[in-house]
Amino acid sequence: MLEPGVLTLAATPIGNPLDASVRLMRALGEADLIAAEDTRRLHRLVRELEVETTGTILSYHEHNEAERTGTLLEALAAGQRVLIVTDAGMPVVSDPGFRAVRAATDAGHRVTVIPGPSAVLTALAASGIAPDRFTFEGFPPRREGRRAGALEPLAAEERTMVFFESPRRTAATLAAMAEAFGGDRSAAVARELTKTYEEIRRGTLDELVAWAEADEVLGEVVIVVAGAEPAAASAEDLVELVLARAADGARLKDAAKEVARGHAGVGASELYDLALLRK
């Protein structure tokens, strides 16, 4: 049940309407005010779900979000049940909603979320790339120079990276990633997730560039890129750890052995000799 005076964010299906949750369907029917990124897509969704809406439907997108957030606050203050939905997935995450959340919390209104489908997690799960640690980077900049500047600092990122991209810019973005991260970096391109023509392409960035340049990429796109391999620590990098353990009371030889055990390729005797020189 939606609560009066509470702002509710609801995730909508990213493709297949059958992924809609029961809570979403009930919320669409109960809301006094529905702020929708695209009202036409919302009307199509409620028809597919066979849900009858009784509340006011308000267009709420990136071009009018600042202006219409005030309308949402007025509705909350009047005790209305306010629901925000976007075209697909979760509001706020690369979609409208953040302004409303900040304004509602600043005004003392509670904000709650109806969870649901996520393009980020769906692509990550299907990518075949390590999902245990990842970072969501959203849409890369559109302009070539700014895109290269945004990707370059991520070259040493060890976590798996997830990006959104437009189909018409996918080939250029993959080429920029190959330049920034190296063409042999593992990656996956997921498009049309949960839809009839869902496709997951896996390979190196060079291989995916060749695919994207040869074939027309269609549909909503998520790019998953493997993180960088951890840089191997040198004996010079680790000697301070040895000295710190010795300062805490450990014998220098024992400290060297302990540090060496956790770092392949670095010998205890080498660490011990370096530590002696530093003392």
Six token digits for residue 12 = 């909508």
| 148 and 178 housed in the same domain | yes
Six token digits for residue 200 = 């997951």
Query: In angstroms, how far is CA 10 from the centroid of its own chain?
Result: 17
What would the pLDDT profile of 185-205 be if each residue is shown by its tens digit?
999 999 999 999 999 999 999
The residue segments making up the domain with residue 254 are 235-278
| 186 and 109 housed in the same domain | no
Of 86, 117, 148, which residue sits at a domain end?
Answer: 117
| 187 and 252 housed in the same domain | no
Give the number of other Cβ atoms within 10 Å of residue 104's Cβ.
Answer: 21
In angstroms, rounded to a whole number, what is the distance separating the alpha carbons of residues 18 and 26? 14
**pLDDT value of residue 233:** 66
Token pair 């990122």: residue: 157
In angstroms, rounded to a whole number, what is the distance separating the alpha carbons of residues 246 and 256? 9
CATH number at residue 46: 3.40.1010.10
| 82 and 130 housed in the same domain | no
| 20 and 67 housed in the same domain | yes
Report the mean per-residue pLDDT for the chain.
93
Of 58, 82, 117, which residue sits at a domain end?
Answer: 117
Q: How confident is the model at residue 279 (pLDDT cuts 50, 70, 90)?
A: low
What would the pLDDT profile of 223-257 be if each residue is shown by its tens digit?
999 999 876 666 677 778 888 888 888 888 888 88
What percent of the chain has a predicted confidence (pLDDT) above 90? 80
What would the pLDDT profile of 49-75 be if each residue is shown by its tens digit?
999 999 999 999 999 999 999 999 999
- Say if 32 falls within a structural domain: yes
**Pairing between β-strand 221-225 and β-strand 160-165 as defined by DSSP bridges:** antiparallel
Q: How confident is the model at residue 220 (pLDDT cuts 50, 70, 90)?
A: very high
| 150 and 53 housed in the same domain | no
- Say if 99 falls within a structural domain: yes
Q: How confident is the model at residue 119 (pLDDT cuts 50, 70, 90)?
A: very high
| 106 and 133 housed in the same domain | no
| 216 and 272 housed in the same domain | no
Phi, psi of 18 (to 5 degrees): -70, -10
**pLDDT value of residue 243:** 84
- Say if 193 falls within a structural domain: yes
CATH number at residue 189: 3.30.950.10
What would the pLDDT profile of 1-33 be if each residue is shown by its tens digit?
899 999 999 999 999 999 999 999 999 999 999
| 242 and 184 housed in the same domain | no
Write the DSSP symbol of residue 51: -
What would the pLDDT profile of 73-82 be if each residue is shown by its tens digit?
999 999 999 9
**pLDDT value of residue 254:** 86
- Say if 1 falls within a structural domain: no
In angstroms, rounded to a whole number, what is the distance separating the alpha carbons of residues 174 and 167? 11
What would the pLDDT profile of 156-186 be if each residue is shown by its tens digit?
999 999 999 999 999 999 999 999 999 999 9
| Structural domain total, the chain | 3
- Say if 94 falls within a structural domain: yes
Indicate the SS3 state at residue 143. coil
| 13 and 89 housed in the same domain | yes
